[in-house]
Amino acid sequence: MGEIRRLGVHTIRLLLVFAILIATPGAMLAQGTPDQLPENAVARSFGSGWECKRGYREANRACLAIKVPPNAYLSPSGNRWICNRGFRKASDDCVPINVPANGYLKEVSYGRGWECNRGYRAAGENCAAIKIPANAFPTNTTYGRGWKCVRGFREVDQTCEAIEVPENAFLTSDGSRWKCDRGYQKADLTCVAIQNPENGYLIDLSYGRGWKCLRGYQALNENCVAVEVPENAHIDYSGNDWDCDRPYRKVQNECVL
């Protein structure tokens, strides 16, 4: 009897909970329904919940109007403001950007909001002229010297010095150095002819001999000599040595099983 009584009490409790839920059907769904939206809010177009209208921002489950200061406008998203061109943000206001002489406005939301013209660099709140030496031109960079030597000259201290191109050489594409013609090799400040041996050919390298032996020949001192291929061997992939045929293996200067 005691067991039956306990079951009956449990059943009555469940029935009471069920009856409460039926009596208040909106209790579990109240949050996020249209009649529960705060003022100046709309239901999300996807998912659940709500979001503030354009020109308002969420704060403590409410939508507060965004106060746009003078010389500012609402961002495309509508949840913040941006200063007009020629102004920068300072706390909750937009203040004018003071562009010095020989400067221009820069479209950034941070920093001082201006840059110096070509040939000038920032010096505090002003733009000072860059001292450009002869045979140089101003660059558009805000770092370094602010100038670069013209083609055929190179930077030496604070000047541009002419590059002396030796015979059988030419200026590189950037114009800041020289390179020897094909068939010549750099030796100090001159270009000397490469002595290409018989059975060799020129290669475009700025180091080494400047030549390579044809396939079947190998370099020996300053010459190209024929590769001596032993029995059961062949010229290898490099073309300048030999390797054993399978299943032979190299032992000193011959191929053995």
> For the chain, what percent of residues have pLDDT higher than 70?
85
pLDDT at 28: 38
- Please tell me whether residue 36 adopts helix, strand or coil conformation: helix
Higher pLDDT, 5 or 219: 219
- Residue 26 CA to residue 37 CA, distance in Å, equals 15
Q: Which of 241, 217, 219 is nearest to 230 (CA)?
A: 241
pLDDT of residue 2 exceeding 50: no
pLDDT at 7: 44
> For the chain, what percent of residues have pLDDT higher than 90?
60
pLDDT of residue 24 exceeding 80: no
pLDDT confidence band for 213 (50 / 70 / 90)? very high
pLDDT of residue 242 exceeding 50: yes
CB 149 within 8 A of CB 159: no
pLDDT confidence band for 69 (50 / 70 / 90)? very high
pLDDT of residue 22 exceeding 90: no
Tell me: the pLDDT tens digits for 148-163? 999 999 999 899 999 9
pLDDT of residue 4 exceeding 50: no
pTM of structure: 0.50
DSSP 101: T
Q: Which helix (H) or strand (E) is 7 found in, with range?
A: helix 2-23
pLDDT at 66: 94
CB 157 within 8 A of CB 140: no
